[in-house]
Structure 1
Amino acid sequence: MIYIYYSYLSAENHESILKNNLLHFSEEYQHKIKRFRRWQDAQLSLLGRVLLFNGMKELGLSYPRDQKIHYTRYNKPYFEDHVIQFNISHSGEIVVCAITDATEIGIDIEIITDVAIDDFKIQMTENEWNKISNSNDQKNAFFEYWTQKEAVIKAHGHGLTIPLQSFEIIDNQTQIQGEKFYLKEIKIDEKYKCTISSKTTMNAIMLKNIC
């Protein structure tokens, strides 16, 4: 089972979100949050942590909130002594967090905005680019592929050291260096595209807003 938790930003509740949650985390993380200049950036980061630890608590996993989150050399977060796998993404006004103990996962969410799609042609394979170019809704097609590719490289764990053009998404599947990855669209908000990727098929996914 993969559990996906999400939350929206709230300007109205920003101070209460900080007051009710920030002190539960390590002093190092508190200082990091306080250094953000924009309240939106501070809340996005904090909500990611809140979703992670609230989700783990809901799943019956007792873990202190000041537990240190480590990062691989490719900047993938993990707990040093826990089998749980997780990944966090945010865009616009939404934060998502995926949690599982079954497989390595990656999740990506992007707000659908006006972008110069042609600037990203180099990141797509020829077949992917043709499908985007020939789509009746090029913007939607682009963000679908973009979140798929981002989710895959996050699940793989080596980040942008893997060129996006080096693998092709076909029928919600792809391979990187002989490893197979599966993808699934997560529908949260019509203004966003969200995709999750894992090394195993995803038959059971639970989506929940817990903040």
Structure 2
Amino acid sequence: MIILYTFINEEKHKSVLDRYLPVFSDDTKRDILRYRRWQDAQLSLLGKILLREGLRTHYDISDAEIRVSPNNKPYLKGNPVHFNISHSKDLVACVIAEFPVGIDVEFFDTSINYLDFEFQMTTEEFEKINGAEDRISSFFTYWTAKEAVIKAHGDGMMIPLDSFEVSNKEGVVNGEKFFIKDIFIDKNYCSCIASKDININNVVPLITYVEIS
């Protein structure tokens, strides 16, 4: 398993678009250029660049064809390698693994009012957050874990966050158990990966920063 990450940069935006957009399909180009904010366009593009770089460098895959499942989860056609992309604020990260996996990264915003998200948590989760010494840190730990599980599951927004509980680094969604692993990418972000494959508990991902020039 590898996790590649990078940060957006406004000064490099035009050069990044000019250099990398031509390597992608016309549909991908249109999707990226449709964004009104440069931040959103660059985050989308960088996620695809990280995936392309990771597949080429670490898995010797240079001609991957990305398809989208009926529940809108991207996958590699005819290839057993799995991936997932997440971004928040200035950070974008891409995980690539030999088994289905989800990743979530969240900017550690200390000004957030965690009470506004009580309805997204189960009663037990919220009680643990509210009783924690560092409530904001506890909130983001639960939030990224639940988001990573949802992304690993693949049904996305069809699964309400409060419909399942995270406990002891596990979560069960519609009868399927998911294993959860905290990871460190950057001190300003909370990060987590999840998978139905229990091997995620033992794997030590190679986490690499990629400089996009």
- Cα deviation 1:89-130 (Å, max 9, x = unaligned): 0001000000012x2110001112222322211211111101
1:153 aligns with 2:150: yes
Corresponding position of 1:116: 113
Q: Quick one: distance in 1 between partners of 2:126 and 2:69?
A: 32
Return the letter of the residue paired with 2:41: A
Output the TM-score relative to the length of structure 1. Answer: 0.92
Corresponding position of 2:208: 208
Computed over aligned residues only, the root mean square deviation of the Cα atoms, in angstroms, reads: 1.5
Q: Quick one: distance in 2 between partners of 1:162 and 1:94?
A: 25
In the TM superposition, residue 169 of structure 1 has moved relative to its aligned partner by 1.2
Corresponding position of 2:51: 52
Q: Quick one: distance in 2 between partners of 1:178 and 1:29?
A: 35
Q: Quick one: distance in 1 between partners of 2:108 and 2:136?
A: 7
Output the TM-score relative to the length of structure 2. Answer: 0.91
- Cα deviation 1:36-86 (Å, max 9, x = unaligned): 221111110000000001000011332337x3x222232211122221110
Q: Secondary structure at the match of 1:83?
A: coil
Corresponding position of 1:189: 186
Q: Quick one: distance in 1 between partners of 2:57 and 2:175?
A: 35
Question: More displaced, 92-101 or 118-127?
Answer: 118-127
Corresponding position of 2:102: 106
Q: Quick one: distance in 2 between partners of 1:163 and 1:39?
A: 30
List 4+ stretches of structure 1 deviating above 4 A: none
Q: Quick one: distance in 2 between partners of 1:166 and 1:110?
A: 21
Q: Secondary structure at the match of 1:180?
A: strand
- Structure 1's unaligned 5+ residue stretches are none
- Could you tell me the percent identity over the aligned residues? 42
- Structure 2's unaligned 5+ residue stretches are none
Trace 1:84-99 onto structure 2 (pairs within 5 A).
84-99=81-96
Question: More displaced, 113-122 or 39-48?
Answer: 113-122
Q: Secondary structure at the match of 1:74?
A: coil
Q: How many aligned positions are there? A: 207
Q: Quick one: distance in 1 between partners of 2:141 and 2:68?
A: 27
